């Protein structure tokens, strides 16, 4: 699709594992081809002009094309950032084309219409920002705050995010920027993330009667094995993953809280039940 109803999307990959892009490639209804070639919402589509993993061009010509977009399309393009931003030592822990990722992300964001922080690393720092964080990794929202850049940021966390969380957030942004009342305290769209996993979990009846799985592979609630579903907002129970086939808890694995700020540190060790004090803190943040 091309024309006046397409919005240029620049996809900038910083300090991450590319898992968010890989997850998006698993999208269905619409799949990735639909997303790139058709209208995402009636009358509106996207024109992906830079994505280091998906595009053909490489090297200096590709970077020069990237650098021209903020000048040519100021205020009109969406910036998707994937991965955390290294800021220590002048940003030298992460470079793209001999320029620090932090510098590139800031200059791309400065003239964007809005930024989608895709994945928990881009949203809040994620695993790269885990203690001791020698590279000084931060999420893109924090980078923009430090740089005094006022462009709206919508977080789409998850490690990786479900492809639908991106599609639905992108569709909402194409229809117009969401108002502050549409975002939760963690900067996520409420319509996409609202609801604690614990509230809709199929193992909840086990929790309510105190039937806890003693070890992996056993029946029962996974709380004693470290499940963070009571503190995690996402619609995994309703949607499932991989075309709705399964998801973490259905597959017998505790939720590790991958959509939450401060993941991974706040919830680690992953397979340990939180202490009472940690639980109280987690409840306060989840509410």
Nearer to ligand SF4, 144 or 255 (CB): 255
The binder of ligand SF4 chosen from 116, 117, 153, 255 (CB under 6 A):
255
Sign of CA dihedral 265, 270, 275, 281: positive
Q: How far is the CB of 144 from ligand SF4 (least distance, A)?
A: 25
Phi, psi angle pair for 233, to nearest 5°: -95, 120
- Residue at shortest CB range from ligand SF4: 229
* 198 vs 230: CA distance, rounded Å: 5
Active site residue 137: no
Nearer to ligand SF4, 145 or 239 (CB): 239
Contact status, residue 264 vs residue 280, Cβ threshold 8 Å: no
Phi, psi angle pair for 78, to nearest 5°: -100, 135
Which residue bears the tokens 């540190």?
A: 265
Nearer to ligand SF4, 136 or 163 (CB): 163
List the x/- string, 206-225, binding to ligand SF4 by CB under 6 A.
-x-------------xxx--
Residue 236 contacts ligand SF4 per CB under 6 A: yes
Which residues make up the interface to ligand SF4 (CB under 6 A)?
158, 197-198, 201, 203-204, 207, 221-223, 227, 229-230, 232, 234, 236, 247-249, 255-256, 258-259
Which residues are catalytically annotated?
17, 20, 121, 159, 198, 201, 221, 227, 236, 248, 255, 258
């Amino acid at each position: 699709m091309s024309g006046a109803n397409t919005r240029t999307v620049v996809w900038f990959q910083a300090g991450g594992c590319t898992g968010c892009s890989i997850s998006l490639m698993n999208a269905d209804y619409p799949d990735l081809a639909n997303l790139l070639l058709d209208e995402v919402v009636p009358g509106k589509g996207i024109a992906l002009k830079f994505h280091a993993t998906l595009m053909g061009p490489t090297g200096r010509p590709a970077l020069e094309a990237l650098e021209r977009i903020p000048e040519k399309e100021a205020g009109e393009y969406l910036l998707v950032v994937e991965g955390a931003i290294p800021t220590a030592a002048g940003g030298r822990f992460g470079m793209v084309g001999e320029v620090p990722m932090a510098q590139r992300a800031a200059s791309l964001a400065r003239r964007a219409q809005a930024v989608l922080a895709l994945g928990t690393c881009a949203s809040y720092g994620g695993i790269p920002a885990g203690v001791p964080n020698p590279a000084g990794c931060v999420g893109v929202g924090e980078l923009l705050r430090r740089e005094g850049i006022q462009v709206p940021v919508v977080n789409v966390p998850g490690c990786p995010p479900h492809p639908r969380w991106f599609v639905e957030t992108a569709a909402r942004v194409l229809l117009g920027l969401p108002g502050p009342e549409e975002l939760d305290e963690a900067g996520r769209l409420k319509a996409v993330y609202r609801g604690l996993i614990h509230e809709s979990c199929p193992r909840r009846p086990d929790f309510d009667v105190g039937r806890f799985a003693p070890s992996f592979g056993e029946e029962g609630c996974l709380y004693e094995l470290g499940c963070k579903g009571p503190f995690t907002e996402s619609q995994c129970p309703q949607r499932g993953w991989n075309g709705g086939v399964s998801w973490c808890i259905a597959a017998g694995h505790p939720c590790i809280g991958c959509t939450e700020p401060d993941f991974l540190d706040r919830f680690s060790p992953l397979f340990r039940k939180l202490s009472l004090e940690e639980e109280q803190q987690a409840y306060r943040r989840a509410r």
